[in-house]
Amino acid sequence: MDGQSNLSQWIHIRPITLDDFENVLAWSKDDSFCEANGWEINRSSEELYKWWRNCVNHPAEDFIRMGITLNGKLIGYADMACMKGNTAELGIAIGESRLWGQGIGSASAKCMMEYASKKLGISIFNAETHEANARSRKMLENLGFKEISRIGSEEYQGMRSERIQYRLIFNGEA
């Protein structure tokens, strides 16, 4: 791939499946991924499988999780949470930390927002990240999200970090 602008042709979202579990298990062995996404380190594969099976088979009414693929390989997931009317909270998790910082999260977020806009009627996207998560903050700001508040704090990668809330009113083109 030669540049972030071309990533959108290689990134796609699709429904998650039980067959994705091998990838999920691999992500669970990446401490950087686990720490960044609030996953328990050294989680048993049985417990992880139960969680993944529940994600696939029992979606919530106000939540959708889609798989993110790069060249057909599952590399992460994108969420629409707290869906109500035309509003939802966007979440992105790239499972392979070696892929971080290459624009894949941004391309994935655009893809998910386009999907949510067209298929779910979402036009107002909220997002939240930690002040210490510079990559996530930069991604959201580059996508056009605006900081709307700083409410709460929690541990992020071993340190206390303020939570920053963002919003984007989506016009159908990211």
Whether residue 110 is predicted with pLDDT greater than 80 in this model: the reply is yes
Whether residue 106 is predicted with pLDDT greater than 90 in this model: the reply is yes
pLDDT at 165: 97
Confidence bin at 172 (pLDDT 50/70/90): low
Mean pLDDT of 66-87: 95
Antiparallel, parallel or unpaired: β 146-156 and 73-84: unpaired
**pLDDT tens, residue by residue, 126-162:** 999 999 888 899 999 999 999 999 998 887 777 888 9
19 exposure class (CB count in 10 Å sphere: 0-12, 13-18, 19+)? exposed
Model pTM? 0.88
- Vertex 48, ends 44 and 53: CA angle to 5°? 150
Measured between alpha carbons, how far is 12 from 63 in angstroms, rounded to an integer? 19
**pLDDT tens, residue by residue, 7-61:** 778 999 999 999 999 999 999 999 889 888 888 888 999 999 999 999 999 888 8
pLDDT at 160: 87
Mean pLDDT of 90-94: 95
pLDDT at 173: 56
Whether residue 82 is predicted with pLDDT greater than 90 in this model: the reply is yes
pLDDT at 35: 84
Alpha-carbon distances of 62 from 22, 37, 122, 128, 155, rounded to whole Å: 27, 20, 12, 17, 26
Candidates 124, 116, 120; CA nearest to 146 is 124
